[in-house]
Amino acid sequence: MKFDKVELANVAIRTTQYPTDNKPEFLMLGRSNVGKSSFINTLVNRKSLARTSAKPGKTQTLNFYNIDDMCYIVDVPGYGYAAVSNAKQEKFGLMIEEYIMNRPNLKHVFLLIDYRHKPTENDLIMYDFLKYYNLPVTVVCTKYDKIKKSGRDKQNKLIENTIDIAYGDEIVYFSKVTKVGRDKIIEVINSKITE
């Protein structure tokens, strides 16, 4: 994966708007403001492909990014942010659920959680939901740079003890600042594409 070509190919709110060329897809999922757009930008080496913001709730559609004509990265609205109305959150939830349930070419999910905090109830529900659909998941702990070295052992344990990671899944620690974890994510994507 070279990320020579990275283009927003489809913006979808319903299934008929998804790409139709049947390439492997990688879903990026997480609480609003967890750093999804930053994660995608870091991964593909672009500054502002996916819009980042201090104000949560920016992403409101399913955004399919064409990566080197090899696969799609799918950015979706964040869940569980109080400032976004319940009606809207429910709509977003249904849109994501519809995608997950109707997408055989969805190969892998990157579930983003905030490294600084204990995984939330919503994070755990989302992980269980994905496992119910037998999807392979990498749990990506974002903002790893925000906890200093001396606190990391304790934080790693808290996260590992809170999420009951299924066999075959793994946890990756990630930072957009230091880029730690990026190589590992690319390795996962490459291995799924050539599967």
Are 142 and 112 in contact, with CB atoms under 8 Å apart?
A: yes
- Does position 33 interact with Mg ion (CB under 5 A)? The reply is no
Separation CA 176–CA 157 (nearest Å): 22
Query: Footprint of ligand GTP on residues 126-185 (CB under 6 A)?
Result: 142-143, 145-146, 175-177
C-alpha pair distances (Å), 44 with each of 73, 150, 176: 10, 30, 11
- 63 counts as binding Mg ion under rule CB under 5 A: no
Q: Which does 143 bind (CB under 5 to 8 A by kind): ligand GTP, Mg ion, none?
A: ligand GTP
Question: Which of the listed partners (Mg ion, ligand GTP, none) does 146 bind, with a CB threshold of 5 to 8 Å by partner kind?
Answer: ligand GTP
Stretch that binds ligand GTP, among 1-9, 32-40, 99-107, 157-165 (CB under 6 A): 32-40
Measuring CA to CA, how many Å separate 108 from each of 47, 128, 130, 194? 24, 15, 10, 13
**For residue 26, what are the CA distances in angstroms to 105, 128, 145, 152?**
9, 18, 25, 28
Residue 57: which of Mg ion, ligand GTP, none does it interact with, CB under 5 to 8 A by kind? ligand GTP
Interaction of residue 52 with ligand GTP, rule CB under 6 A: yes
Q: Which one among 38, 63, 66, 138 touches ligand GTP, defined by CB under 6 A?
A: 38
Coil, strand or helix: which one is 73?
strand
Binding site for Mg ion (CB under 5 A): 36-37, 59
Binding site for ligand GTP (CB under 6 A): 30, 32-38, 52-54, 56-59, 78, 142-143, 145-146, 175-177
